[in-house]
Amino acid sequence: METVTFAPKEVMVRKDLDIRTGDTVRVHVKIEERGKTRIQIFEGLVIATKHGREAGATFTVRKISNGVGIERIFPLYSTVIDKIEIVKRARVRQSKLYYIRTKVARDIRRKMRNLVPFTATTEDLVPKEEMLEETPEGATEAGESKEATPEAVPADVSEETTPEEQPAEEPTQE
C-alpha cells in the first residue's frame, strides 16, 4: 500500500482556506490518462462540508452538466486537487444544502408540466410537389397582386379621392 505524504506548505494553505457551505468553488483536479497528467476543472456549489479542518475533512460540490446534476466529494487535503478557487460566496442559513437536489428536480417538473405535448415525424411532412399543387384560394402565382374588389373598399372612402388627397381632420378646441 502506498503512503501519501503531504507537503506541509500545502496543508497550511488548505487549512487557512475557508470553504463554507453555499460557496461556488472551482476545483482543479489532476487526472492521469495514458501516462499523461492533465487538469480538469470542476465548478459548482458546495452543498456540504464535513469534519471541519482535520485530516479527514471533505466537502461536497454539486454542478449541473447537460441538465444532469453531478455531485463530487473531495477530500480537503487530497494530492489529486491541484488548486481550489472560491468564485462566489453566498450567505446560507443551513450547514447542509441537500434540499437543493429536490428543489432543482421540482423546478424542472414544474416547467415540464407547462409544456404542451408535441410530436412530429417525417411522415407528417408533405412533399414539395403537393404543396405547390395545393395553392390556397385567392393566392396567385409569382407574387402577382389582384385588384381590390369594390366590396373590399370601405364605404366611407370615395373612389375619386386617394388617401393623400383627403383633407386632414382639424383638431377640435374645447
CATH number of 8-114: 2.30.30.790
Give this prediction's pTM: 0.57
Alpha helices in 24-152 (DSSP H): 99-114, 128-133
What's the DSSP call for residue 136? P
pLDDT digits (tens, 9 = 90+) for 14-68: 888 888 999 999 999 999 999 999 999 999 999 999 998 888 899 999 998 888 8
CA distance 37 to 31: 6
Phi, psi of 111 (to 5 degrees): -65, -40
pLDDT of the residue at 164: 56
Is residue 166 very low, low, confident or very high in pLDDT (cuts 50, 70, 90)? low
